[in-house]
Amino acid sequence: MRLKEKVAIVTGAANGIGAEISRTFAREGCHVVLADLAADKAKTLAAEITAESGVKAIAVGCDVAQKEELQCVVDACVAEFGTVDILVNNAGITLPACPVEDITPERWKKVLDIDLMGTIYGTQCVIPVMKARKSGKIINMASVAGQVGGVFTEATYPVSKAGVICWAKAVAKQVGEYNITCNCIAPGTILTAMTETLGSADASLNVPLHRLGSVKDVAGAALFLASDESDFITGATINVNGGMSMI
Ligand code: NAD
């Protein structure tokens, strides 16, 4: 088992990529805190994971746009398991495409608050715990959109995700001396609820591997970044996009 007796917090864990990362970590022996706005769904999944994997999974309702709610998640994790080894800042949203000149301040705020500030707040809340124990793994869910200026969505999304990639580098530089790593995963188009509505049916034509990604493809990269195998990797972004960003 690659994460035996470790403890992870996964945000946006009730659905899609976050749910698969939570299941994958649990199968590798990791206790998991599922933090999501969809608290009931997270609770049901936590019960399933506990029953299936023999580790303990708990759910905590949380809006990542509110720093104090993320602090409550970290506090709940420490109260239940005594520590936090791994944080996956995964919660995110997109809005439908909109001409750049028409994006309202409200739309900017909505996406930046969740996709960028949610990642920043989660990281800030967990660092004191990780610093005290001189170890930790922080994994941020970025996107190919943040590298190429967007794929299907309005500009709020790629701008947020570019910020997430830069934030990971800034954090990695500051906390490396505490043996804390901070990395990103940049998925291409992954089949989840998020992409169902984006009109991406022909998207695989632009992918050298000629298919869209699965949640398992992303969870595999997250497991690597959470495990000891990635101990000397920090400030990095792993592309999980079938080669899409070469185009
Ligand atoms: P999803 O919509 O299937 O799941 C997102 C989860 O985040 C949901 O459970 C939702 O309830 C939760 N969430 C939304 N807002 C929240 C908030 N304010 N606080 C707490 N939880 C909140 O999405 P997904 O496709 O699994 O995406 C997960 C992450 O991967 C996101 O950050 C997304 O930007 C990123 N990503 C996805 C794709 C893709 O193609 N699906 C590609 C690149 C990056």
Per-residue pLDDT tens digits for 224-234: 999 999 999 99
Q: What integer pLDDT is reported at residue 151 of this predicted model?
A: 80
Task: Give yes or no for residue 197 having a pLDDT over 90.
Answer: no
- Out of 21, 45, 114, 141, mutate this one to test ligand 1's pocket (max ligand atoms within 8 Å of CB): namely 141
Query: Look-up: residue for tokens 């999304």?
Result: 157
Percentage of the chain beyond pLDDT 70 is: 97
Q: State pLDDT tens for residues 126-151.
A: 999 999 999 999 999 999 999 999 98
In whole angstroms, what is the distance from residue 227 CA to residue 1 CA?
A: 10
Please tell me which residue in 81, 121, 157, 167 is annotated as part of the active site.
157
How far lies 52's CA from each of 10, 24, 56, 229, in Å?
18, 11, 10, 25
The pLDDT of 61-66, averaged and rounded, is: 98
The pLDDT of 9-13, averaged and rounded, is: 99
| Nearest of 39, 144, 19, 18 to residue 88 by alpha carbon | 18
Q: What integer pLDDT is reported at residue 177 of this predicted model?
A: 98
Q: State pLDDT tens for residues 15-35.
A: 999 999 999 999 999 999 999
Task: Give yes or no for residue 94 having a pLDDT over 80.
Answer: yes
Region of 178 please: left (phi>0), alpha (psi -120 to 50) or beta: alpha
Q: How far away, in angstroms, is 219 Cα from ligand 1 center?
A: 13
- What is the number of the ligand 1 atom nearest to the C-alpha of 18? 26
For the chain, give the mean pLDDT: 96
Residue 56 class from Cβ within 10 Å (0-12 exposed, 13-18 middle, 19+ buried)? middle
121 is catalytic: no
- What is the number of the ligand 1 atom nearest to the C-alpha of 13? 9
Task: Give yes or no for residue 247 having a pLDDT over 90.
Answer: no
In whole angstroms, what is the distance from residue 17 CA to residue 193 CA?
A: 10
The pLDDT of 35-59, averaged and rounded, is: 98
Q: What are phi and psi of 114, to 5 degrees?
A: -85, -55
The binding-site residues of ligand 1, defined as CB within 6 angstroms of any ligand atom, are 11-12, 14-18, 36-38, 62-65, 90-93, 114, 141, 143, 187, 189-190, 192-195
**What single letter denotes the amino acid at residue 183?**
N
Query: Look-up: residue for tokens 């899609």?
Result: 16
Q: How far away, in angstroms, is 177 Cα from ligand 1 center?
A: 31
For the entire predicted model, the pTM comes to 0.98
